[in-house]
C-alpha cells in the first residue's frame, strides 16, 4: 500500500512526540511540546500531517504556508520512524503535489543540516536545490519560518521544476 498523508489530530500526539523523542531522533530534530504541536494542527497557516504506510502511522510532516509573506511553502519538519525505506521521499512528494497543485504555491523550501547527507540526497532527487538568498530575502524567509536554521542551509524547489523532477518510482 502506498504512503498516505492525513491531517494530524490530538490523538496523534503520543505517536508524534514519541517519534520526535526517540534516541535516534532527539539530537537531530527540535523538540516541541504537545502545545506547540496542537497549535500547528489548529493554525490556518500551518499544516500538520501524519504519514501512514499500510494504514499505520509511520511519521509526520509539518509545513508553514508563507505565501502571503512572499516566502512560499516552508516544509518545517518531516520525520519518519524507519529511515531508508522511501517513506519520507514518498510522503514529501505527495505533500509537494498538494503544495503545487491545490495550494498553487510558486515554490517550496526547507532547511537541511549540513551533516544530514541522507536528507540532502532525498531533497535533491525530488528536485530541490541549494538556495543562498540575499540578506533581505533570507530575513523574510527566516521570519516566515520562525527560524534562522542555524547550522543548516536552505534548499528550494520551484513549482515549474516539480513536474520535471517527479520520478516514476514516486508517482505511479
For the entire predicted model, the pTM comes to 0.86
Q: Which three cell numbers stand for residue 4?
A: 498516505
The pLDDT assigned to 167 comes to: 45
d(CA 80, CA 15): 11
The per-residue pLDDT for 145 is 65
Per-residue model confidence (pLDDT) at position 69: 67
- pLDDT tens over the chain, length 172 residues: 689 999 999 999 999 999 999 888 877 777 889 999 999 999 999 999 999 999 999 999 999 886 676 668 999 999 999 988 999 999 999 999 999 999 999 999 998 888 888 889 999 999 999 988 788 877 777 776 666 566 678 899 999 999 765 543 444 3
Residue 124 region by backbone torsions, left for phi larger than 0, else alpha for psi between -120 and 50, else beta:
alpha
Q: What is the SS3 assignment for 41?
A: helix
- Nearest-CA neighbor of 19 among 60, 54, 55, 56? 60
| Residue keyed to cell 526547507 | 110
State which fold the 3-165 domain adopts.
Aminopeptidase (3.40.630)
Domain ranges of the chain: 3-165
HSE toward the beta carbon, residue 67, CA cutoff 13 A? 16
Spatial neighbors of 104 by CB under 8 A, at least 6 apart, are 159
Contact 130, 100 (CB under 8 A): no
Phi, psi of 25 (to 5 degrees): -110, -20
pLDDT value of residue 170: 43
CB contact at 8 A, 49 and 6: yes
Contact by Cβ (8 Å): 61, 77:
yes
Contacts of 120 (CB under 8 A, 6+ apart): 112, 155
Measured CA to CA, the distance from residue 106 to residue 162 in angstroms comes to 10
Amino acid at each position: 500500500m502506498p504512503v498516505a498523508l492525513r491531517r494530524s489530530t490530538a490523538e496523534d500526539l503520543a505517536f508524534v512526540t514519541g517519534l520526535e523523542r526517540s534516541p535516534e531522533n532527539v539530537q537531530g530534530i527540535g523538540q516541541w511540546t504537545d502545545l506547540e504541536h496542537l497549535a500547528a494542527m489548529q493554525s490556518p497557516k500551518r499544516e500538520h500531517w501524519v504519514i501512514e504506510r499500510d494504514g499505520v502511522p509511520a511519521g509526520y510532516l509539518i509545513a508553514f504556508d508563507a505565501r502571503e509573506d512572499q516566502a512560499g511553502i516552508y516544509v518545517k519538519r518531516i520525520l519518519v520512524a524507519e529511515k531508508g525505506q522511501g517513506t519520507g521521499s514518498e510522503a514529501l512528494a505527495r505533500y509537494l503535489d498538494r503544495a503545487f497543485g491545490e495550494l498553487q504555491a510558486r515554490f517550496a523550501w526547507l532547511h537541511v543540516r549540513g551533516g544530514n547527507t541522507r536528507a540532502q540526497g532525498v531533497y535533491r532527487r525530488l528536485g530541490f536545490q541549494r538556495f543562498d538568498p540575499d540578506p533581505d530575502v533570507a530575513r523574510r524567509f527566516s521570519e516566515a519560518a520562525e527560524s534562522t536554521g542555524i547550522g543548516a542551509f536552505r534548499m528550494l524547489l520551484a513549482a515549474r521544476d516539480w513536474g520535471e523532477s517527479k520520478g516514476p518510482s514516486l508517482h505511479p
